[in-house]
Structure 1
Amino acid sequence: MDQRRLILLLVFSLSLVMLWDGWIKHNQPAAPAPVAAAANAGGASVPTPTAAAPGVPAVPGVTAASTAPTVQVVTDLFRADVSAEGGNIVRLELLKHKSTADHERGFLVFDNGEVHHYAAESGLIGKDLPNHRTVFSLPAGEQVLKAGEDKLVLRLEAPEQDGVKVTKVMTFTRGSYLVNVDYEIVNGGTEPVGGHAYFQLTRDGTPAEQVQAFGVTTFTGPAFYTDEAKYQKIKFSDIDDGKAKFIKTAPDGWVAMVQHYFVSAWLPAAGTEREFFARKVGNGLYSAGVILPVAAIAPGAEGKAESRLYVGPQEQAHLESIAPGFNLVVDYGWLTVIAAPLFWVLSWLHKMIGNWGWSIILVTVMLKALFFPLSAASYKSMAKMRVLGPRMQRMKELYGDDKAKMQQEMMNLYRTEKINPLGGCLPILVQIPVFISLYWVLLGSVEMRQAPWLGWITDLSAKDPYFILPIIMGVSMLIQMKLNPTPPDPLQAKVMMAMPIVFTFMFLWFPSGLVLYWVVNNILSIAQQWQITRMIERGKAGSSKPA
């Protein structure tokens, strides 16, 4: 009994440590964006392709912050500010995903200094070609995707140089987070025009809505994908140290800037050799991007450079269809092998029910049914030990001073009654990875963000505002403890009885969807354990009656 209780205590202690780490880091305020980074936003230089032909120089960046005018583009999904400087998207607010701090506002992805510095930049590399610091002409007034229209086209004209006319064309589509970004190049000069086009994401290194849980931090930073190297994440600190390892050239692939729930990415078409880069461009600022070749354009001819830009939520149902491997930006940490199928089942249920809370409840029931035989065997073992409680108490009285003798007699009793003293630990050991996986699904899936269940639960990824579910969970844990056999050690018994209180306190700040899972699981466990305990106790009582 002591050995079994010791292992059970260790399992609960491990869970407690992981929960404490998750709670502390989840409620840790994000560090403010560095002011210096925003001030030096204009200091990023144009990237230089390593394979560039001689005579294609890099254009130095401007040291002062940009004060260029902007034009606002409004679609059914977002509101974006496009700067005259480079035609860069310097601010983008998602209309259907609300801010964490203020639900009256949309979530800000690209940010021009309100909290972060984060922008989508692009340009051309070549003699007198416009880059992301060139000032383009803007159309007058707000550009709005009107009712009945499927597309909105924004055309930005660069100053003509030596007869070469460049137009940056941005096409916004209804119902899509994708933006087509094209450079139309008309060579009205006397010399051929060629070079490269680059598309980059520039961001400060401060994470947005960072969450740390169970020793793993939700990732914020650049990521690259190619068919050859697959998905590669790059830490900002590795860029600082020059240790960032990722594929540099490939005929396919994309570059992204990943953060909790949301992602931006440049997605060039496959089939063109490209070069990827990641570098530090200022005080606290980093750029990650891709460079594409621009075929030589003869005098009097026209050419084009193009890519797609995605800015939006990590909606798993759509990411894979946008680009190969794009679904990998949803990172569930080291338990992806459990979390990914768990989310798939939740999504399947959500399609039928239309509510994530009820989907969580049904998944809990399904998991409980899946592990029913294992739980039944465990509860039978615990019920038998509960029946043997009086006999074990007498043994303690007889051999209390002889620990070795008492341990020997207890093991003999276990063998005689065919009891596995460690059987009660198995359901807990099985639940822990499922519990952590569901935690990651709730915190890592944007579909769960601000998803309501019923009544007071309006966001399954946030804590219960009135702490009702955690209290119910604590009561259910207490009932479970009462159904378990009482440890012979008084100190151990007090520790076990304190666990519901400790866990209730910990769960006060955990996602309500996770607490809902634990409450339903506990209620089902109580029903199963109570039924099995009653059957065992009745059987023992019947066998003890004289014939």
Structure 2
Amino acid sequence: MDTKRFIVAVLLSAMVLVGFEYFMPKQTHQEVAQQVAQTSRQTPPSDAARPAAPVAGVSSQPVSVPSPQAETRLEIDAPAVRGSIDLLGARLDDMVLRDYHETVAAGSPLVRILEAAHDPQPNYVEIGWMNLAGGQVRVPDANTVWSADAPKLAADHPVTLSWDNGEGVTFQIVVGIDAHYMFAIEQRIVNHSAQPVSLYPFARVSRAYTPEETGGYLVHEGPISVIDGRLDESSYKSLRTGATPPGNTSWTKAGQGGWAGITDKYWLTAVVPQQGAPVTGSYGYQANGGAGVYQVGFIAQVPTVVGAGATASTTSHVFAGAKEVSLLEQYQSSLHIPDFWKAVDFGWFAFMTRPIFYVLDWLNTLLGNFGLALMAFTLLVKALFFPLATRQFRSMAKMRKLQPKVQDLRERYKGDQMALNQQMMALYKTEGVNPASGCLPMLVQIPVFWSLYKDLYITIEMRHAPFFGWIHDLSAPDLTNLFTLFGLIPWDPAGLSPYLQLGVWPILFGVTMFLQQKLNPAPMDPAQQRVFQVMPVLFTFFMARQPAGLVIYYCWNNLLTMAQQMVIQRRTQGATSQAVPAPAAAKRK
């Protein structure tokens, strides 16, 4: 191998590592928990946190805000969630997930996915109606006090919210919830007046704070929608800078059905209109006196027309919960929600990341532990690439045998690089050696590495998935630290620099990488030898900041590679010794 090219390759690898650290999400030595607060719901709403004009409907008229008064709430008690609906405005604005905690620590609070307008991180869903242009029908708003026909909303026990506008029109919202995270909504208009009523039903998700985006460039967090089969992902910044009148919208799209909402790394709040119905989806932002409100929603393109003495209704759904892959696909099938699985950001290479996730998930169901599933997956990958690895090691053996001839050519054509390259290519051709064949297995496994990293980072199934011993979360870095003597010294060096966090598994990875190098003969060039000596140290510190599951995968992969290499080398040496006849015994004098 030419020394200059080798050094260039190493420099390029270092640049890749630096770029990886820059573009990928920065993981600290502690998991970035969801910033939620368990505050009292009797706090008066502040002006800064009050909701602004609606995006759905593209209206420029300011929405009414709740008046300071005691709240009346409808309790939500379902298998997967608990919370309440504010009957002042009929807002779904209080919900926690029963099966998910903020951290792996004992007693950690449940993840809160919805919060009221006067809470620190407002995130809520609104259902309502809008008038036609110039319409005068009195419709419910944020100050409307609804009545409920039951004290509690439970799975398979829907509750009807009602409000009479005093003009002969009764509005009803029938709310149901399943055993997971899907609400079924029926918006009903009962017209007792003598005049027909025409209104546009809408649904929207509002978020009155800008969350910390922890996903970097690896996962999308923010407004998301699928309309007419097209996925659209926007950033919070694009909503702030692109919002224009009327309605302060930054994006609209008309289509048939679909879904839209605001996504976080693991959680999703989305509204789902009646599939097949013509709707307009929109993203918007209201700079509401310093505390802006992001809004994502749908409004019907065709108004609901209710004749005198008649009743009409429209149906929709609201999802508020964890982005469990199997559950999203189940809803996609049962409710015909198009591409609902895309709420999980498998990325451009979803054709690889999804199948690999399915394999890992299947192995987890068999073995009962995602760490063991990763190890079993490594065995499958090794078996799949075994022919390539065999070819790689055989090629390496041939290259070692050619090193004296290669060195002779370098000495002979020391001042003529072009002639040297020609002679080396001729030598490789004569001996039947492909110098690039040794790199092929590594190149082929790069997509597997990337897909595995992506799955570990984005899927909630991997979140807080334990292994054995001190690893309680495979999606987070190993939290043990050599620089504290693994807990004996009471200080946190990672606070000074993230590179002062070096756990047990990254160290084991470095050791296995070093041992793997020892199985191969040292390069003849001194510069290459120095680079090879540094590489295990460099990669050890790099892997220290990666998910523990990825480090475990590579440790196990290195051990299997060493075992595989020793087996293939023994077979190759055995075949060579059989092919070479033994020298004749020396004659005795």
Report the TM-score range of the alignment, normalised by the length of the smaller protein: 0.7 to 0.9
CA pair 376-9 structure 1, distance change in 2 beyond 3 A: farther
Q: Distance in 2 between matches of 1:156 and 1:326?
A: 28
| Aligned partner of residue 135 in structure 1, secondary structure | coil
* 1:197 Cα deviation after fit: 0.9
- Give yes or no for contact 1:68–1:83 (8 Å, CA) kept in 2: no
More moved, 279-288 vs 387-396: 387-396
Q: Which of these residues, 496, 499, 524, is aligned with residue 560 of structure 2?
A: 524
Q: Which of these residues, 498, 501, 504, is aligned with residue 468 of structure 1?
A: 504
* 1:379 Cα deviation after fit: 1.5
- Which residue type is aligned with residue 311 of structure 1? A
* 1:435 Cα deviation after fit: 0.6
* 1:240 Cα deviation after fit: 3.6
Partner of 2:233: 233
Q: Which of these residues, 191, 196, 204, is aligned with residue 187 of structure 1?
A: 191
Structure 1 position 17 matched with structure 2 position 18 = yes
| Aligned partner of residue 377 in structure 2, secondary structure | helix
Q: Distance in 1 between matches of 2:6 and 2:233?
A: 42
Q: Distance in 2 between matches of 1:48 and 1:359?
A: 45
Q: Distance in 2 between matches of 1:242 and 1:78?
A: 35
> Matches of residues 409-488 of structure 1 in structure 2 within 5 Å?
414-466=428-480, 467-488=503-524
> Matches of residues 61-100 of structure 1 in structure 2 within 5 Å?
61-62=63-64, 69=71, 71=73, 72-100=75-103
The count of aligned residue pairs is 528
Q: Deviations over 1:73-111 (max 9, x none)?
A: 232211223223321122321111211486621222223
- Give yes or no for contact 1:86–1:133 (8 Å, CA) kept in 2: yes
- Give yes or no for contact 1:222–1:288 (8 Å, CA) kept in 2: yes
Q: Deviations over 1:387-428 (max 9, x none)?
A: 5556666777x5696574776765565445433322222222
CA pair 142-163 structure 1, distance change in 2 beyond 3 A: closer
* 1:141 Cα deviation after fit: 11
* 1:369 Cα deviation after fit: 1.1
Q: Distance in 1 between matches of 2:475 and 2:565?
A: 30
Q: Distance in 2 between matches of 1:58 and 1:18?
A: 44
> Matches of residues 34-183 of structure 1 in structure 2 within 5 Å?
40-47=48-55, 49=57, 59-62=61-64, 69=71, 71=73, 72-100=75-103, 104-112=108-116, 116-126=121-131, 127-137=136-146, 143=152, 145=154, 150-158=155-163, 160-173=165-178, 175-183=179-187
| Aligned partner of residue 121 in structure 1, secondary structure | strand
- Which residue type is aligned with residue 184 of structure 1? R
Percent identity, aligned pairs only, is 30
CA pair 166-13 structure 1, distance change in 2 beyond 3 A: same
Q: Name structure 1 gaps, 5 residues minimum.
A: 51-56
| Aligned partner of residue 470 in structure 2, secondary structure | coil
* 1:23 Cα deviation after fit: 6.1
- Give yes or no for contact 2:477–2:545 (8 Å, CA) kept in 1: yes
Partner of 1:54: none
Q: Name structure 2 gaps, 5 residues minimum.
A: 37-44, 244-248, 332-336, 481-502, 585-589
Q: Deviations over 1:326-361 (max 9, x none)?
A: 111111223222111111222222333332222211
* 1:167 Cα deviation after fit: 2.7
Partner of 2:256: 251
- Give yes or no for contact 1:201–1:289 (8 Å, CA) kept in 2: yes
Q: Deviations over 1:420-440 (max 9, x none)?
A: 322222222122221111110
Q: Distance in 2 between matches of 1:416 and 1:521?
A: 34
More moved, 431-440 vs 449-458: 449-458
Q: Distance in 2 between matches of 1:350 and 1:291?
A: 42
> Matches of residues 139-538 of structure 1 in structure 2 within 5 Å?
143=152, 145=154, 150-158=155-163, 160-173=165-178, 175-204=179-208, 206-207=210-211, 210-212=214-216, 216-226=217-227, 228-242=228-242, 248-282=253-287, 283-292=291-300, 293-322=302-331, 323-388=337-402, 402=415, 404=417, 414-466=428-480, 467-537=503-573
- Which residue type is aligned with residue 332 of structure 1? F
More moved, 123-132 vs 2-11: 2-11
Q: Distance in 1 between matches of 2:13 and 2:390?
A: 20
More moved, 306-315 vs 24-33: 24-33
- Give yes or no for contact 1:480–1:526 (8 Å, CA) kept in 2: yes
| Aligned partner of residue 437 in structure 1, secondary structure | helix
- Which residue type is aligned with residue 130 of structure 2? I
Q: Deviations over 1:127-169 (max 9, x none)?
A: 3443442322356997374xxxx43434433353312222333
Q: Distance in 1 between matches of 2:112 and 2:260?
A: 20
Q: Distance in 1 between matches of 2:383 and 2:322?
A: 33
| Aligned partner of residue 299 in structure 1, secondary structure | coil
Q: Distance in 1 between matches of 2:408 and 2:294?
A: 70
CA pair 366-246 structure 1, distance change in 2 beyond 3 A: farther
* 1:201 Cα deviation after fit: 0.8
- Which residue type is aligned with residue 273 of structure 2? P
- Give yes or no for contact 2:149–2:160 (8 Å, CA) kept in 1: no
- Give yes or no for contact 1:460–1:511 (8 Å, CA) kept in 2: yes
TM-score when scaled to structure 1?
0.85
TM-score when scaled to structure 2?
0.79
* Bigger proportion of residues as helix: 1
Q: Distance in 1 between matches of 2:406 and 2:277?
A: 76
CA pair 380-298 structure 1, distance change in 2 beyond 3 A: same
Q: Distance in 1 between matches of 2:110 and 2:151?
A: 18
Q: Distance in 1 between matches of 2:128 and 2:181?
A: 21
Q: Distance in 1 between matches of 2:68 and 2:433?
A: 74
